[in-house]
Amino acid sequence: MLLMGEPLPIELMNTVWADRDGIHDALTDEFGAWVAAIGARAGVLELPAAASGASRSAKRLRTLRDAMRRLAAEQTSDPRDIAVDGTALSWAVATVNEAAAAAPAWTELEWPARRVTRTRAVSFAALEGLLAAQMIDLLTGEQRDDLRACLAPGCVLYFVKPRNRREWCSTGCGNRARAARHYQRHRSPA
């Protein structure tokens, strides 16, 4: 399981990840652990991840994830093969909106001044709604221009680029990208 300290919608998008063995799906392989980790970070507790209905929940979350990846691909003009999956942009927008509408949330003030998000939705729908709402914030807020597809060889992840820093999702990808460029230069003399 790969958690990179990115905003939650990006953590969801990055449940699709790749290594030398190919492409993996953390929502298929480690659904319960992923939901528990993200639920805790989101402040959504008591998630019945491991209980019955987990496979249906996993399917819903995978659908939301695929819709978000479609939107991120559009926003970042993602040139990677994996970004072109043939799903319609309108489907992705509708899917995110549906998840957001299923768990209406509001903001409350706690004192000392702290912003908390409340919802009447329970458990899993609350998590989906929160992820969808944060994705909408991400695509419409200040961070929208910092959303990036990692273009290191073989990487399928997204990340938010800190201002003036970092072209890659991780130092590992940075090293691989530099090695690939080095190889290119020395293989094809000008």
Q: Cβ 159 to Zn ion, closest distance in Å?
A: 7
Q: First CA to last CA across the chain, in angstroms?
A: 42
Q: Cβ 158 to Zn ion, closest distance in Å?
A: 9
Q: In 13-133, at which residue ranges do the beta strands (DSSP E only) sit?
A: 16-19, 22-25, 105-110, 114-119
Q: How many residues bind Zn ion (CB under 5 A)?
A: 6
Query: Taking the alpha carbons of 55, 56, 60, 66 in that order, is the dihedral positive or negative?
Result: positive
Q: Cβ 42 to Zn ion, closest distance in Å?
A: 24
Residue in the block written with tokens 């990006």: 10
Which CB sits closer to Zn ion, 105 or 177? 177
DSSP 56-70: HHHHHHHHHHHHHHH
Q: By CB under 5 A, what part of segment 122-161 binds Zn ion?
A: 150, 152, 155, 157
Question: Is 173 among the residues that bind Zn ion (CB under 5 A)?
Answer: yes
Which CB sits closer to Zn ion, 38 or 157? 157
Which residue ranges make up the site for Zn ion (CB under 5 A)?
150, 152, 155, 157, 169, 173
